[in-house]
Structure 1
Amino acid sequence: MSVVNVSEKSIAPRPVSQHRPAPVMVIMAVVFSLLSLIPPAFIVYIGFDTGWETVKALIFRPRVAELLSNTLLLVLVTVPLCVFVGVMLAWLTERTTLAGRRLWSMLAVAPLAIPAFVQSYAWVSAVPSIHGLSAGVFLSVLAYYPFIYLPVAAVLRRLDPTLEDVAASLGTPPLRVFFRIVLPQLRLPVWGGALLVALHLLAEYGLYAMIRFDTFTTAIYDQFQSTFSGPAANMLAGVLALCCLAILTLEGATRGKARYARVGAGAPREQKRWRLNVLFQVLGQMFAFAVILLAFVVPLAVLTRWLWLGGIENWNQANLWMSLQQTLVLAASGAALTLLASVPIAWLSVRHPRPLFRMLEGCNYFTSSLPGIVVALALVTVTIHYARPIYQTEITLFLAYLLMFAPRALINLRAGIAQAPVELENVARSLGKTPATALWSVTLRLAAPGAAAGAALVFLGVCNELTATLLLSPLGTRTLSTGFWALTSEIDYVAAAPYALLMILISLPLTGILYVQSQKLAGL
C-alpha cells in the first residue's frame, strides 16, 4: 500500500470551544461524576469499616472459594465459546458464499432481543433437569454470542483484502490465510466483545438463579434477602467488584497497540468471498441453523406453547398491564434523566478535552462496569445510613439507572456533539446567546440523532433490568421483569409468558436498529 501525503488541515487538532466552560456545566458534571463514585467508594469504605479480622473471616472461607471457582470457570469456558460462535458466524455470513447469508446475518443478532433470564426460563421450562455449570455455559453462549458477532461482522466487511491476496499469491492455503492474516485484524472487536460478555457474566442474576448455579451475584442476592445488607453480602460485593476490575485491567493490558487502519491511495477493493464446496456449504448451513435454532427458535417455540396453554384469559391479568405501564414510565423517565445528566459530561469532554473532564467521564465508565447488584447494594446501604428519606423511593431507583446506564447515553452524545460544528456554537455565543441557549438551540439540535440513540439504549436497559429494580423499587412497583421473575419463582410459567413476550416485543425494534447501524458503519 502506498502512503499518501496528508494535508495540514487533516491533521489539525479537533476544534474546541473558544469560550471558557460554563461554571454551571462544570458543577453539574462534577456532581454527577461524584455520584458515580458511590459504589466503588462504598466497597472501599466497607472494607475498612468492617475490619481486617472480619474481612478475612468472611472472604477466606470455603463458600467464597466455591463461588470464585464457579465464576472463574463460567468466564473461562463461556468467553472462548462465544468468541468461536461469534467469529465463525461472522465469517460465514460476511466472507463466504453461504446460501441465505443475509437472512442468517439478521437472525444471528435476533437473540439480543431475548433477555438472558427469559432465555433461561424457556430452557428450564422445556428441560427441567438442566442445571449447574454446563447449563450456565450453554445458556450464556446462546444469550451473549451476539456481542462478539456484531463487532466482528462489522470489521470483516471493512477489511482491505489486499493482504489476503498477497498471502494467497505466495501459496498460503486459505485456512492459514484466515489464521495469519484475517484473525489478527479482528483483535479489537474480539477483545471488546469478550469484555462485554465477561462483564455480563459477572452481573447476570436471573439466568443462573433459574438453573440453580451459584455465582457471586446469586449469593449476594441471597445474603441480602436473609441478612439485609449484612457484612457477608457487602464482602461478596467487594470480591465481585475486584473481579470486574481484574477483567477490565486484563483487557486493557492485552489489547495491544497495533495499527488496524488502512492508509493508501484510493478506496479498498470489494471483499472476496470464499466459495464453499458442497460439503462446507452443508456444514455451514448446519452450524448456522443449529445456533439460531438453540438461541432463538427454541425460546420462541417454548414461549408460544405457554401462551397457547394460557389462552386469551392469560392476557386479562390486571398486574400485566400495570407492569407494562410502570415499565414504560420508568424506562422513559430513566432515559430522559440519564440523557440530561450526561449532557454536561459529554459536552465538556468534546468541547474542552482537558484531563480533568476526561477523568470525570471515566468515573462513569468504571462504575457502569460493576454489576447492578453491587450498585444497588451500595445505594441501599448509603441511603439507609445517610439519606433515609429517599430509601426505597423512585429517587434511589433512578439514581441506580443513571449509574448503570450513563455510558450508553454518553457514548452516543459524544458522537453527536463531535459531529456538530463548534463554530456554530461559538457564533451563537458571540451574538449574545447564553451558553445554555447556544448548547440547546445549536449543538443539541444537531446532535439529536445521537441523543435519541443513547436514550433508546438506556430505555431498553431499564426495561430489562432485574436485580437493581428488585432491590431498590418502592413497594407496589412491578415492572415486566420483576413481575416475570415473581411468577417464575412460583413456577407459574403460563402466567409469566405474556410478560416475557412483551419484553421481547419492546426489545425487537432496538435489535433491528443495531443491525441496520452495523450495516451502515460498514458502508453497505
Structure 2
Amino acid sequence: MQTEAASAPLPAPVSRYRRKSPPIWLQIPVLALLLVAALPLFFVVARAAQTGWHEAWALLWRPFVFGLLANTMKLMVLVTIGCAFIGLALAWLVERSDLRWRKHWNVLLCLPFAIPSFVSGFTWVSISPMFEGLGGTVLVMILSKYPLIYLPLVAMLRSLDPALEESARMLGYNRRQVFWKVTLPLLRPVLMATSLLVAVHMLVEFGAPSIMRYQTFTTAIYQQFELEFSGSNAAMLSALLLAMCMIMLWGEFRLRGRGYARTGQGVARSAAPVRLGAWSVPAQLALVVLVAIGCGTPLTMLGFWIVEGSSAAFPLDEILQTLWSSLSYSFGGALLSCLLALPVCLVVVRYHGRMANLADRLPYLLHALPGLVIALSLVFFALGYMPSLYQTAILLLVAYALLFMPMAQGPIRVALEKASPQLEEAARTLGHTPISTFLKVTLPIIFPAIGAGFVLVFLDCMKELTATLILGPTGLETLATKVWSHTGNLEYAGAAPYAALIVLVSGLPVYLLTTRAYAQRRG
C-alpha cells in the first residue's frame, strides 16, 4: 500500500527539550544508513570509472537508449495525466457532491491498493495478448496508481474551509467558476506533488511493464544485468534512471508543504454538497465501470485461472512453502526497517544540529533511489568487498529496509512528536540512562506506531519483486517471483494461486484501514 503520505517526514516542532547532539548509540546507525544510502551513487561512479568515461558516454549515446527514454517518458506522461484526471474527478464526486453511497464508494475506489500492478497486468495479459504493449501498460498502471492522487485530494477537500467557496458563490460565481477559480487553485499544490509522485513510480516500475512486454529503463536494466551479464550497460542505464528520479523527487520536495493555510481554527463543518441532478445516474455508472475494470476484472480472472489450475494440478506443498518464504522474509524486512527507523526518528525529533538535519533528509534520499538501482549497488558492493554476503538473506533484508524504511518512519515520527519529552526528562533526573529511559518510558508510548509502521512495510515486502529477483538466495521463491516466473512462461493458471494469496494478504488490511479512516472522519 503505497501510502506515500505515510512515508513523508513531518517538520519537527521546535521544543526547549530538544538536545544539541545525539548520543553515540544513535549516531552510529544513522551514519551507517547514510553510507548505505550513498551506495547507488558510488556504484554508478565506480562502474563508469571502470568502464572508462569515453566508453560510458558511447554506451549512453545510442539509439537504443533514446528508444528506452521515449518509451519511459510516454508511460510516465500518459499515466500521470490519467491518474491526475481520475483522482481529481473521484475526489470531487466523493467529497463535494451528493453522490449516493459515498462511504462504500470510498472503500471500493481504494481497493486497487490491494492488487499489485504486476498481478493486475498478468490478469489482463491472460485475457488477450492485445493488452501487451504501451496501451495495456498505461491502462493497468492508471488503475493501480490513481489512489495515490485520489486519497490526498480527498483529505485536502475535507480540510478546506467551506466558507471560501461559499464566499465566492455570494459574489456571483456559479458552481463551475467556483471550482476553477477557488477550489482547484487550493488543490493545485497537492495535485502537482502527488502527480510527481506517480511520475517517479512510473520511472522505476518494473513488474507490470515486464509482464506486459513493454520495455522501459527498468526492464532493460534487468535484462542487461540478469540475462546478458552486461554490468557496464546496466550501470550506465542505472545512472540515467537515477538522475531522472532525483530530478523528479527534487520537484516533489519543492512542492511538498506548499498549500492552503489560514489564520484561526475555522469552522468544523462540511461543505454543502453539490446536487448532481441528471448527472447522478451517469456518475454512478462511471464509478461502477471504473471499479469493475480496476478490481472486478483482475479478481474475476484470478478466480477463473484458479479453477482452471486446480482442475489440472494444484501444488499445495509448493504454494505453502512459497507463502512461508514470503511471510518470513517480509517479517524480517519489516522488523529490520522498524529497528533502523527508530534511531533516525529519535535523532530528528529529540535533537538538533547537523546529524538531525542529515537524518531529516534521509527519507527523501531513500525515496529517490529506484529499487533496481539499490539492488545492483548492493550486488556491486558484495561482489567487490564482501563476497560472502552475495545472494544471502542478509543482503535481501538490507535492500528491503532501504526500500521501505521511510514507510515505517512516518507513524513512528508522528508518535514521537506527540509524546511529551518531559517524561523522558523526568526519568533522566531520576538516574536512568538514555537507553534505560528509551526502553522504559519512550518505547511503551510509541509501540502502537511501531506496529503500524511494521504492517505497512510488511505489506510492501510481500509485493516486492525487483530486489528479490536480483538479491534473493539461490532457490528462494516468493509469491511475487512465482507470479512473475509463471507469467513469463505463459502459465497463467500456475500464477493465479500465488497472485490470489498476495491480494488476500494485502486486501484485508487495506479494507480495514480505509473503513476505519472514513468512520473516524465522519464520526
- TM-score normalised by length of structure 2: 0.94
Name the counterpart of 2:262: 262
Counterpart Cα distance in 1 of 2:17 and 2:46: 39
2:293 matched residue in structure 1: 294
Match for residue 420 of structure 1?
Answer: 419
Preserved contact between residue 116 and residue 463 of structure 2 (Cα < 8 Å) = yes
Paired position in structure 1 for 2:100:
99
Cα displacement (A) at 1:312: 6.8
Report if aligned partners of 1:82, 1:145 keep a CA contact under 8 Å in 2: yes
Match of 2:24 in 1: 23
CA deviation digits over 1:450-492, x for unaligned, max 9? 2111111110111000010000000121111111212112211
Is 2:60 the counterpart of 1:59? Answer: yes
Counterparts in 2 of 1:271 and 1:228: CA distance versus 1, 3 Å: same
The 3 A distance-change label for structure 1 pair 14 and 314 is farther
The answer to whether the Cα contact below 8 Å between 1:223 and 1:233 also exists between their aligned partners in 2 is yes
Q: Give, in whole Å, the separation in 1 of the partners of 2:361 and 2:135.
A: 36
Q: Aligned residue for 1:110?
A: 111
Of 229-238 and 510-519, more deviation after overlay is shown by 510-519
How far residue 314 of structure 1 moved from its aligned partner, in angstroms, is 4.7
Most deviating of 337-346 and 313-322: 313-322
Quote how far apart the aligned CAs of 1:438 are.
Answer: 0.9
| Deviation of the 1:229 alpha carbon | 5.1
Q: What is the CA–CA distance in structure 2 between the aligned matches of 1:473 and 1:156, rounded to whole Å?
A: 43
Structure 1: distance between partners of 2:47 and 2:92? 47
- Once residues 496 and 280 of structure 2 are traced to their aligned partners in structure 1, the CA distance between those partners, rounded to angstroms, is 37
- Distance in 2 separating the partners of 1:353 and 1:347: 10
Q: Is the Cα contact below 8 Å between 2:72 and 2:216 reproduced in 1? A: yes
Letter in 1 for 2:33: F
Alpha carbons 1:413, 1:451 under 8 Å: kept: yes
Change (3 A) 1:118 1:12: closer
Residue 171 of structure 2 aligns with an amino acid whose one-letter code is L
Q: In structure 2, what residue type is equivalent to 1:295?
A: G
Match of 2:379 in 1: 380
* Mapping for residues 304-453 of structure 1, pairs under 5 Å: 304-311=303-310, 314-453=313-452
Closer/same/farther in 2, CA of residues 308 and 77 from structure 1, 3 Å limit: same
Deviates most, 335-344 or 260-269 = 260-269
1:202-237, CA deviations, whole angstroms, 9 ceiling, x for partnerless residues?
Answer: 121120112211100000011012333520011011
Task: Supply the distance in 2 between the matched residues of 1:435 and 1:353 (Cα, whole angstroms).
Answer: 16
Secondary structure of the corresponding residue to residue 447 of structure 1: helix
CA offsets per residue over residues 90-145 of structure 1, 9 Å max, x none?
A: 11111111122221111000011000000001100112221222222111101110
C-alpha displacement of 1:522: 4.5
Contact conserved, 1:158 with 1:522, CA < 8 A, in 2?
Answer: no
**In the superposition, relative to structure 1, how do residues 520 and 99 fare at CA in structure 2: closer, same or farther (>3 Å)?**
closer
Distance 1:134 1:242, change over 3 A: same
Contact 2:93 2:99 in 1 (8 A): yes
Identify the range of structure 1 (185-194 vs 469-478) with the bigger mean alpha-carbon deviation. Answer: 185-194
Aligned residues: 512
507-516 or 170-179, which deviates more: 507-516
Which residue is equivalent to 1:227?
228
Seen in structure 2, the aligned counterparts of structure 1 residues 523 and 49 have a Cα distance that, compared at 3 Å, is farther
What is the DSSP-based 3-state SS (H/G/I as helix, E as strand, rest coil) of the residue aligned with 1:273? coil
The aligned counterpart of 1:6 is none
What is the distance in 2 between the residues matched to 1:409 and 1:55? 37
Per mean C-alpha deviation after superposition, the further-off stretch among 114-123 and 43-52 is: 43-52
Relative to structure 2, which stretch is displaced further, 227-236 or 395-404?
Answer: 227-236
- Relative to structure 1, the CA distance from residue 314 to residue 453 in structure 2 (aligned partners, 3 Å threshold; closer, same or farther) is farther
1:447–1:503 CA distance, 2 compared to 1 (3 A): same
Offset of residue 523 of structure 1? 6.4
* 2:379 and 2:471 in contact (8 A); partners too: yes
Answer whether contact 1:39 1:367 (CA < 8 A) is retained: no
1:368 offset after TM fit, Å? 3.0
In structure 1, distance between residues paired with 2:307 and 2:328: 29
Q: What is the rounded CA distance, in whole Å, between the counterparts of 1:336 and 1:140 in structure 2?
A: 30
State the alpha-carbon separation in 2 of the partners of residues 507 and 323 from structure 1.
Answer: 16
* Aligned equivalent of 2:509: 510
Q: Which residue does 1:82 correspond to in 2?
A: 83
Take 1:251 and 1:144, find their aligned partners in 2: how far apart are those partners?
17
Do 1:40 and 1:367's aligned partners in 2 also have CA atoms closer than 8 Å? no
Match of 2:132 in 1: 131
CA contact (8 A) 1:154 1:518 kept: no
Q: Which residue of 1 is the match for residue 4 of structure 2?
A: none
Q: Report the alpha carbon displacement of residue 413 of structure 1 after superposing the two structures with TM.
A: 1.3
Q: Distance in 2 between matches of 1:116 and 1:211?
A: 11
Q: Distance in 2 between matches of 1:108 and 1:247?
A: 27
Measured in 2, the distance between the counterparts of 1:265 and 1:502 equals 46
Q: What code does the residue aligned with 2:475 have?
A: G
Q: CA offset at residue 409 of structure 1? A: 1.1
User: Gaps (5+ residues) in structure 2?
Assistant: 1-11
Q: SS at the partner of 2:129?
A: coil
Deviates further, 391-400 or 187-196: 187-196
262-271 vs 155-164, greater mean Cα deviation: 262-271
Distance 2:360 2:267 in 1: 35
CA shift for structure 1 position 304: 0.9
Q: How far apart, CA to CA, are the structure 2 residues paired with 1:145 and 1:111?
A: 9
Residue 179 of structure 1 is matched in structure 2 by 180
Q: Aligned partners of 1:203 and 1:160: how far apart in 2? A: 37
Whether the 8 Å contact between 1:409 and 1:451 is mirrored in structure 2 is yes
What is the alpha-carbon distance in structure 2 between the residues aligned to residue 294 and residue 116 of structure 1?
Answer: 13
> 1:186 Cα deviation (Å)?
1.4
* Alpha-carbon distance in structure 2 between the residues aligned to 1:517 and 1:228: 48
Whole-Å separation in 2 of the counterparts to 1:257 and 1:307: 46
Deviations 1:306-344 (A, max 9, x none): 112223775443221101001111111111111111111
Structure 1 distance, partners of 2:293, 2:30, is: 45
Distance 2:182 2:35 in 1: 45
8 Å CA contact 2:125–2:212 kept in 1: the answer is yes
In 2, Cα distance between equivalents of 1:316 and 1:160: 56
Q: Which residue of 2 aligns with 1:8?
A: none
C-alpha separation in 1, matches of 2:380 and 2:60: 20
Distance in 2 separating the partners of 1:458 and 1:12: 26
Distance 2:386 2:159 in 1: 51
Q: Is the 8 A contact 1:25 1:344 kept in 2?
A: yes
**Map of 2:479 onto structure 1:** 480
- What corresponds to 1:247 in structure 2? 248
Partner amino acid for 1:274?
V
Q: In percent, how many aligned pairs have the same letter? A: 36
The offset of 1:20, in angstroms, is: 5.2
Moved more, 420-429 or 129-138: 129-138
Amino acid of the structure 2 residue aligned with 1:281: S
User: 2:179 is aligned with what amino acid?
Assistant: F
What secondary structure, in the 3-state scheme, does the structure 2 residue paired with 1:21 have?
coil
- Distance between the aligned counterparts of 1:452 and 1:312, measured in 2? 40
Q: Tell me the alpha carbon deviations over residues 399-445 of structure 1, each in whole angstroms, 9 at most, x when there is no partner.
A: 11111111011122111111111011111122111211211221121
Residue matched to 1:277: 277
The answer for the alignment partner of 2:456 in structure 1 is 457
What is the Cα deviation at residue 188 of structure 1? Answer: 3.4
Using the TM superposition, name which of 236-245 and 127-136 deviates more: 127-136
Deviates more, 1:312-321 or 1:431-440: 312-321
Q: What is the rounded CA distance, in whole Å, between the counterparts of 1:94 and 1:298 in structure 2? A: 27
Give the match's secondary structure for 1:260.
coil
What is the RMSD of the two structures over their aligned residues, measured on CA atoms? 2.0
Distance 1:229 1:469, change over 3 A: farther
1:94–1:14 distance in 2 versus 1, CA, 3 Å: same
CA shift in 2, pair 1:349/1:314, >3 Å:
farther
Q: Check whether the contact 1:364–1:403 (CA below 8 A) recurs between aligned residues.
A: no
Preserved CA contact (<8 Å) 2:22 2:351:
yes
